[in-house]
């Protein structure tokens, strides 16, 4: 049973808030007809205990207020936890790592006095599932040591800390530790023998769990920790933090949501698997306990402190400080899950401001249709209220909200609070969205997601995403040859077929890779494409591991001719003149491909500068079962002297086909003859092409021009 590692560098920002998992959980906690979990006598007793705990009243009343003094998370973590404070909540919680209800592992979920509703589990149990039994665990003097991949981690209950000697190697072993392509993805891609990969020595990581008010408890022959304390450390480092707890069991909510979001899978939103996720014991509760809300908040801080790749750019020392600075802390600690979601939505969809950052579902494992509590979110606007500009905007918002509910007003305040944090600037994501609108309007109907076209001596390969099915396809292409359906799931298979066809067209001298509207995808697919462009199948990728503080030069070989030999017969560099057509809508892998191709001299870049996206996509699952994507800890770029420079805005087109933003609708992004003509004009010495704008598109172009801010404009166009 394996928690699938997701190494993706793709555009995930949702243009609208159309969430992937829709529908309502049963608010009374009863299962729908499709539910496949049998309620036991123990479950009934545990639900009763949940509703009658000292810090909560009955769920039917809608209240979870404690009749006693509220104890802060900081006070609780300093208190000694005695054996009598620990009880078994569920002796048979199920862990579903795969998208089936037929395969699961059974673990024990514990409760700890003072941490009402917070699931505590054995570190042994979690690590055994995470590492697929490949770890070796020993306990010496109360300290748990975990050996895996030739490195060691430890959990020390006495000091309430976790230490990883080499977080990159803990993630995966190979020629390089924690590489972009991992061992299970080696197939047509293999480690290079011709060039040796290099890496800086990783720095150990020490995590003080006291800072996140999560106790580490020595208990019997194991160590107990809050579930998300384990998942957001060990799980996130291995890029496998995908499970959600619904009050009894643990489900792969991220993979379920990802599947339901794909075209043609809409019915999955009401499937037995998703119904099971949202119909657990928590679904009968309208509020969380404060202890659980604090747990949810600090688990988010823990995850992002460790693995968010843009902390430095955004001047974030710790996320607790960041949330406090933007007055989101109170809302995120709300006992109303929907109020907490408001801040998470602002965080991922606005404040982080890139195409990798997006909250992708608003459904939670507590009662459905909960609405944000205005009292919990109103403090998000405090900073604005104290500023003259903020007061002006706030008064305007209040006038608009006079006929609306207090909650609508509070929501408006929250948005203004986020604007204040951004310095009243348009979010960085807006130019990317505007580019996407412009490119999509230029794309012909029924154009398809991948295609190969010819115009004289020029072939144009178009594909809209970087796809890889290596870990899913069994057997490999070496035993089961490429079929037509493989081209839909694998960029390697598609390129293999394209070059089979191109070689039959003897006139072809130029090959253009059109990624004008490619939002990215799998890192393995990126490596595959670079292998086709190289002269010998060799690929170099450079990356900075922000957690391990390690810079790596990773070398791979792509067997482009599928002869089973990683030799110089692979690759097509030198046989054709390669060009990459990109735009501001070329994101993530669509940004990395032109960057590495230009860096290594594999292709000429035409069109405009790509849109950015320098970090691999990391996954986020919170205490409520909500999912998000964000810019993770691996950042693409190059060391220049002693300074690391990311690939975010490093690529400058050799042929600028869009000297003015007004040209977005006139560039032949999808016209094979126009693309071939641009290649020929470059070969004749031109470095910039000006297209005549159609008057009918001028007004829309001007509107988009106000939003664009990407490089690639000539100075006279800017003026």
CATH number assigned to the domain comprising residue 500: 3.90.226.10
Model-wide pTM > 0.75: yes
Q: CA torsion, points 690, 696, 698, 701, in degrees to nearest 10?
A: -90
What is the Cα–Cα distance from 28 to 25, expressed in whole angstroms?
Answer: 9
What is the Cα–Cα distance from 586 to 465, expressed in whole angstroms?
Answer: 10
The answer as to whether 668 is a domain residue is: yes
Strand order in the sheet with 250-252: 217-219, 222-226, 120-122, 105-112, 86-96, 250-252, 243-245
The answer as to whether 535 is a domain residue is: yes
pLDDT tens for each residue of 373-393: 554 444 444 443 443 333 444
Contact 146, 130 (CB under 8 A): no
- φ, ψ of residue 427 to 5 degrees: the values are -60, 150
pLDDT surpassing 70 at residue 199: yes
The answer as to whether 479 is a domain residue is: yes
Confidence band of 296 (pLDDT split at 50, 70, 90): very high
pLDDT of residue 41: 32
Determine the average pLDDT of the residues in 509-525.
96
Q: Which long-range contacts (CB under 8 A, 24 or more apart) does 406-409 make?
A: 406/374, 407/371, 407/372, 407/373, 407/374, 407/377, 409/374
What is the Cα–Cα distance from 25 to 244, expressed in whole angstroms?
Answer: 15
Q: CA torsion sign, 119 to 357 to 306 to 541?
A: positive
Determine the average pLDDT of the residues in 360-365.
83
Output the six-digit token pair for 150. 């030739």
Contact 295, 115 (CB under 8 A): yes
Q: What mean pLDDT is reported for the chain?
A: 82
pLDDT surpassing 90 at residue 358: no
Contact 260, 268 (CB under 8 A): yes
Q: CA torsion, points 650, 655, 659, 662, in degrees to nearest 10?
A: -100
Output the six-digit token pair for 561. 């001719």
Closest CA to 527 of 611, 597, 471, 451: 597
- φ, ψ of residue 337 to 5 degrees: the values are -55, -30
Q: CA torsion sign, 314 to 317 to 319 to 322?
A: negative
pLDDT tens for each residue of 598-645: 999 999 999 999 999 999 999 999 999 999 999 999 999 999 999 999
Number of domains in the chain: 1
pLDDT surpassing 80 at residue 50: no
Q: To the nearest whole percent, how much of the chain has pLDDT over 90?
A: 64
The answer as to whether 591 is a domain residue is: yes
Contact 365, 244 (CB under 8 A): yes
More confident: 664 or 523 = 523
How far lies 112's CA from each of 83, 87, 158, 360, in Å? 9, 7, 17, 32
pLDDT surpassing 70 at residue 66: no
Determine the average pLDDT of the residues in 690-708.
50
Match 């009402």 to its residue by tokens.
116
pLDDT tens for each residue of 545-583: 999 999 999 999 999 999 999 999 999 999 999 999 999
Confidence band of 7 (pLDDT split at 50, 70, 90): low
pLDDT surpassing 70 at residue 187: yes
- 364-373, 439-448, 481-490, 621-630: least confident range: 364-373
pLDDT surpassing 60 at residue 161: yes
For residue 575, give every residue at least 6 positions away whose Cβ sits within 8 Å of its Cβ, in sequence order, or none. Answer: none
pLDDT of residue 431: 65
The answer as to whether 226 is a domain residue is: no
pLDDT of residue 534: 98
Q: Residue 587 belongs to what domain range? A: 430-539+565-613+646-718
DSSP symbol at 425:
P
Cβ–Cβ contacts within 10 Å for residue 668, how many?
19
What is the Cα–Cα distance from 64 to 61, expressed in whole angstroms?
Answer: 8
pLDDT of residue 261: 84
DSSP symbol at 456:
T
What is the Cα–Cα distance from 448 to 463, expressed in whole angstroms?
Answer: 9
Confidence band of 421 (pLDDT split at 50, 70, 90): low
pLDDT of residue 351: 75
For residue 649, give every residue at least 6 positions away whose Cβ sits within 8 Å of its Cβ, in sequence order, or none. Answer: 609, 612, 710, 711
The answer as to whether 534 is a domain residue is: yes
Match 């909200």 to its residue by tokens.
401
pLDDT surpassing 50 at residue 36: no
DSSP symbol at 233:
I
The answer as to whether 434 is a domain residue is: yes
pLDDT tens for each residue of 92-129: 999 999 999 999 999 999 999 999 999 999 999 999 99
How far lies 377's CA from each of 167, 191, 345, 408, 625, in Å? 37, 51, 13, 10, 20
- 41-55, 107-121, 269-283, 353-367: least confident range: 41-55
Confidence band of 699 (pLDDT split at 50, 70, 90): very low
Confidence band of 42 (pLDDT split at 50, 70, 90): very low
The answer as to whether 481 is a domain residue is: yes
For residue 516, give every residue at least 6 positions away whose Cβ sits within 8 Å of its Cβ, in sequence order, or none. Answer: 439, 581, 582, 583, 585, 586, 607, 669, 670
Q: How far apart, in Å, do the first and last CA atoms of the chain sit?
A: 59
pLDDT of residue 430: 58
What is the Cα–Cα distance from 129 to 134, expressed in whole angstroms?
Answer: 9
For residue 499, give every residue at least 6 positions away whose Cβ sits within 8 Å of its Cβ, in sequence order, or none. Answer: 532, 560, 572
Match 């009934």 to its residue by tokens.
44
What is the Cα–Cα distance from 337 to 159, expressed in whole angstroms?
Answer: 32
More confident: 488 or 379 = 488
pLDDT surpassing 90 at residue 500: yes
């Amino acid at each position: 049973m394996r928690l699938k590692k997701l190494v993706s560098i793709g555009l995930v920002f949702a243009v609208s808030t159309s969430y992937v998992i829709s529908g309502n959980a049963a608010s009374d906690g009863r299962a729908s007809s499709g539910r496949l979990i049998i309620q036991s006598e123990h479950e009934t007793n545990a639900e009763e205990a949940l509703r009658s705990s000292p810090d909560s009243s009955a769920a039917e009343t809608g209240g979870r207020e404690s009749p006693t003094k509220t104890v802060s998370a900081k006070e609780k973590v300093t208190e000694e936890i005695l054996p009598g404070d620990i009880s078994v909540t569920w002796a048979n919680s199920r862990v579903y790592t795969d998208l089936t209800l037929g395969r699961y592992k059974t673990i024990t979920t514990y409760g700890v006095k003072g941490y009402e509703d917070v699931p505590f589990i054995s570190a042994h149990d979690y690590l055994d599932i995470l590492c697929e039994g490949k770890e070796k665990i020993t306990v010496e003097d109360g300290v748990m040591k975990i050996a895996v991949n030739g490195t060691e981690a430890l959990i020390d209950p006495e000091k309430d800390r976790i230490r990883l000697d080499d977080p990159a190697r803990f993630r995966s072993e190979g020629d390089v530790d924690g590489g972009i392509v991992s061992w299970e993805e080696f197939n047509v891609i293999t480690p290079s023998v011709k060039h040796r990969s290099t890496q800086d020595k990783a720095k150990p990581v020490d995590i003080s769990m006291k800072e996140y008010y999560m106790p580490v408890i020595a208990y019997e022959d194991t160590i107990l920790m809050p579930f998300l304390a384990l998942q957001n450390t060990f799980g996130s480092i291995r890029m496998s933090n995908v499970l959600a707890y619904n009050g009894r069991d643990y489900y792969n909510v991220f993979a379920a949501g990802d599947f339901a979001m794909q075209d043609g899978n809409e019915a999955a939103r009401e499937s037995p698997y998703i119904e099971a996720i949202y119909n657990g014991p928590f679904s009968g509760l309208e509020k969380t306990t404060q202890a659980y809300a604090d747990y949810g908040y600090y688990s988010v801080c823990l995850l992002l402190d460790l693995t968010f790749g843009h902390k430095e750019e955004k001047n974030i020392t710790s996320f607790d400080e960041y949330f406090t600075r933007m007055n989101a802390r109170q809302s995120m600690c709300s006992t109303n899950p929907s109020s907490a979601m408001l801040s998470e939505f602002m965080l991922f969809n606005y404040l982080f401001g890139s195409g990798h950052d997006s909250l992708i579902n608003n459904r939670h494992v507590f009662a459905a249709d909960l609405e944000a509590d205005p009292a919990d979110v109103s403090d998000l606007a405090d900073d604005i209220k104290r500023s003259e500009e903020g007061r002006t905007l706030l008064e305007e918002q209040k006038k608009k909200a006079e006929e609306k509910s207090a909650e609508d007003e509070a929501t408006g305040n929250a948005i203004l609070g986020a604007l204040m944090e951004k310095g009243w600037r348009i979010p960085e994501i807006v130019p990317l969205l505007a580019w996407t609108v412009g490119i999509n309007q230029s794309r012909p109907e029924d154009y398809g997601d991948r295609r190969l076209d010819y115009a004289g001596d020029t072939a144009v390969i178009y594909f809209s995403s970087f796809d890889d099915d290596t870990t899913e396809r069994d057997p490999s292409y070496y035993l089961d040859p490429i079929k037509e359906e493989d081209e839909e799931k694998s960029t390697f298979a598609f390129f293999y077929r394209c070059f089979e066809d191109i070689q039959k067209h003897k006139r072809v001298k130029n090959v253009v890779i059109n990624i004008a509207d490619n939002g990215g995808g799998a890192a393995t697919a990126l490596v595959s494409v670079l292998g086709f462009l190289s002269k010998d199948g060799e690929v170099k990728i450079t990356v900075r591991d922000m957690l391990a503080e390690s810079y790596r030069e990773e070398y791979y070989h792509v067997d482009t001719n599928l002869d089973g030999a990683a030799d110089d017969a692979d690759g097509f560099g030198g046989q054709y003149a390669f060009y990459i057509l990109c735009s501001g809508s070329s994101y993530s892998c669509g940004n990395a491909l032109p960057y590495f191709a230009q860096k290594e001299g594999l292709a000429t870049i035409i069109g405009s500068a790509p849109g950015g996206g320098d970090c691999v996509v990391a996954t986020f699952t919170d205490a409520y079962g909500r999912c998000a994507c964000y810019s993770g800890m691996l950042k693409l770029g190059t060391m220049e002297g002693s300074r690391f420079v990311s690939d975010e805005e490093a690529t400058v087109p050799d042929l600028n086909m869009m000297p003015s933003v007004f040209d977005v609708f006139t560039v032949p992004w999808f016209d094979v003859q126009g693309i071939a003509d641009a290649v020929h004009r470059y070969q004749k010495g031109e470095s910039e092409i000006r297209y005549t704008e159609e008057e009918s598109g001028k007004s829309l172009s001007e509107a988009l021009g106000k939003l664009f801010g990407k490089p690639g404009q000539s100075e006279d166009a800017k003026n």
